[in-house]
Structure 1
Amino acid sequence: MADNNNKITLTRLSHVIYQHPDIEKYKSFAKDFGLEVADTQPDKNLVFFRGYGLDQYVYIATQAPAGEGKKFIGAGFTARSREDFDRATRLPGAEVIDISAWPGAGSLVKIRDPNGYEVRILHGQEEQALPKKGISVVDGGRPTLNGAIDKHRKGEFTRMVQSPAAIHKLGHFGYETDNYEGTHAWYTSNFNLEPTDVLHTPGNESLDVATFFHLDLGDEYVDHHCFLLARREKPGTSVHHSSFEVEDMDTQMIGHQWLRDRGYDNVWGIGRHVHGSQLFGYWYDPERFIVEHYADGDVVNGKHEIYRAAAGNMAVWGPPVPAIWGGKQQVSA
């Protein structure tokens, strides 16, 4: 566990913000992806999408001004306390935003990271009530699984419903950047983000090329990563993908088929990741941003020791890695 006395403690990743030239087109995709509209504020060109987790919204779509195109704007986190929130308001360039009319209200401050993307810190938002169990495509909820030898589901049947994969929460997002060291230093010096797994160049352990970060909350277990940072050679920084949790493998598989049957473009998956262990399925949205469904991810706490490995081993099983991420599989741009 790191010494976080001088850092702003965040408790979870909350939401991402994207700018779209055609919000109505995105709304159609979002419904098929498993997001639900939480609120629409046409006077502010905002649409809020929610899952069934604690957060009132996990995705904010904003209408692009005339003449502008798509854009990733940034991501929001929740602060542990009012003191942590107040400390965020004192960071250079911090701007407090009135969100009293947004779902769940609360307080919000936005700052910019070294690459110009917004980091939004929330506090005091009214949380959604959690369901008693996750929302699965298995009718009546997930029964016990039967193994080859041990048959625990006796006299019970697994019945599925065809539907989108209901989103629980935003799990993680990430950047590709030529400003790897500067971005790494800024996030870890200001917030309780700590490396979980670090990947280095094969054959050169001194050159790190990707870091998976979790939120250090001491003994409390949290997701294996909420933030991914990857090094790239070409100038600038861009969003890599945003990833949303679903309940289980069947929910992920049926959600995958739901999207495929409706003609959306699959980027990669379904497969099983190495770092984080998630079942994954990546998709292009209408603006060619990449979004992911995942299930069954690892969790860690402050006692976790950083795991280092050579980059390149991205999946235990699954389709070939797409060309856009260094593989030989061709994916349309």
Structure 2
Amino acid sequence: MSETRVNGTDAKTAHQDLHSERGALRGEHPGRARNPVIKVADLAWLEFEKPDLDRAEVFARDFGFGVAARTERELWLRGTFAGSPCMVIRRGRTSRFIGPVFRAAERADLDRLARATGTAVQDADVPGGGRVVGLLDPSGFPVRVVHCAEQLPELPGQRPLTLNHGTDQRRTNATQRPPREPSRIQRLGHVVLETRVFARALDWYLDTLGMIVSDFLFLDGQRGRGPTMAFIRCDQGSLAVDHHTLAMHLGPANGYVHSAYQVTDLDAIAAGGEYLAERGYQRSWGIGRHIQGSQLFDYWRDPDRLMLEHFSDGDLFSCDLEPGWAPMSTSGLAQWGPPATRDFLGASPSPARVRDVIQALRGDNEMDPARLLGLLKAANS
């Protein structure tokens, strides 16, 4: 086992007690770069294209977003917390994910990143203005790093309900009647991506953006070949941050899996879910509680079949916690909740998925028959 010590205990004990059954074996991926170019502070927003901005806005409001700005060609969505917008949707011919935008900790980080990557610092097309560097990750996703000139002000949010716990009875002579209304989004939490070049993409995010791994997953019987999924957080030193800001897993395509948005509490998730169901939207999976990250979760499809998550009560890690290691399995996705659906897993056969598999097995990437069989086994375990 790793010799690393965490808060006075060895890594093995820390993983058993905190977030994973085990830590790294000697010589396995350390989950961080020794000398990254910069260390991004957080996700800023995600970029999408859709042909119908009016329909996109209706779903966005039903899901719980506020509108930060709207033009004929752009829709900027926000949460109630102060900061940057959560998402921009630009008018395009098809509905698709473009890429993530990360927030630089300091303006000078953009200059450092531009010099190291041979790119330029440009004006950012964000309400309030700012500066941005545009990159391309090994999977082919446009990745931008931004420093905003202005921050959006805080908006009124949903208050968490006062709960009675055993003998800790703080609510008396008062009832609980949460209104049936949209879950009010507080902020963007994370994005999950599928990639054919997992190892290359992982190292790029660690080396270039200074992110660090919270948990690795590996395929049964293939741990020696390295991990096939990583939950990755930003490194803000002793400041504890989300368990993952970015998650990636090996798969037959390079594409968007889902994005996640924080709401107040379990009641906000449940009441907001009832609101969505009444309006005819499709729940993909939920409600439950994850293992890696511990979030309470609920997954939904928008009218264009893109997946979005409401979450609450996620784990927060500081920089001194080493990565956990666990086998990849469907049963390991949740501590409790309904079984993961085929829709959530992307396991429903389709001509497009068959084409992805054929192209992946023929291409120059990290997918091969053994990896494919291991992924299929994990999806059914």
Using the size of structure 1 for normalisation, the TM-score is 0.89
Structure 2 counterparts to residues 1-333 of structure 1, below 5 A: 5-42=35-72, 45-64=73-92, 68-92=93-117, 94-99=119-124, 102-130=126-154, 135-136=157-158, 141-206=159-224, 207-232=226-251, 234=252, 236-312=253-329, 313-326=332-345
Aligned equivalents of 1:249, 1:18: Cα separation in 2: 28
* Residues 3/228 of structure 1: CA separation in 2 closer, same or farther (3 Å cut): closer
User: Alpha-carbon deviation of 1:26?
Assistant: 0.9
Q: If each structure's strand is expressed as a fraction of its own residues, which one has the higher value?
A: 1
Unmatched tracts of structure 2, length 5 or more: 1-30, 353-381
User: Alpha-carbon deviation of 1:111?
Assistant: 1.3
Q: If each structure's helix is expressed as a fraction of its own residues, which one has the higher value?
A: 2
CA deviation vs aligned residue, 1:226-246 (integer Å, no higher than 9, x gap): 0001111x2x30011111111
User: Alpha-carbon deviation of 1:328?
Assistant: 8.3
SS at match of 2:55: helix
Aligned equivalents of 1:30, 1:91: Cα separation in 2: 37
State whether residues 223 and 298 of structure 1, in contact with CA within 8 Å, keep that contact through their aligned partners in structure 2. Answer: yes
User: Alpha-carbon deviation of 1:254?
Assistant: 0.7
CA deviation vs aligned residue, 1:44-98 (integer Å, no higher than 9, x gap): x11111111233311100101xxx3222110111111122111222353635443
* Residues 94/322 of structure 1: CA separation in 2 closer, same or farther (3 Å cut): farther
Task: Quote the RMSD (CA, aligned, Å).
Answer: 2.3
User: Alpha-carbon deviation of 1:330?
Assistant: 10
Amino acid at match of 1:199: L
SS at match of 2:228: strand
Tell me how many residue pairs correspond in the alignment: 318
Task: Judge which range, 144-153 or 280-289, deviates more.
Answer: 144-153
CA deviation vs aligned residue, 1:146-200 (integer Å, no higher than 9, x gap): 0133322233433312210011111000111111111111111101211101111
Unmatched tracts of structure 1, length 5 or more: none
Please tell me whether Structure 1 or Structure 2 has the larger radius of gyration of its CA atoms: 2
State whether residues 95 and 111 of structure 1, in contact with CA within 8 Å, keep that contact through their aligned partners in structure 2. Answer: no
Using the size of structure 2 for normalisation, the TM-score is 0.78
Aligned equivalents of 2:121, 2:278: Cα separation in 1: 43
* Residues 94/105 of structure 1: CA separation in 2 closer, same or farther (3 Å cut): same
* Residues 182/329 of structure 1: CA separation in 2 closer, same or farther (3 Å cut): closer
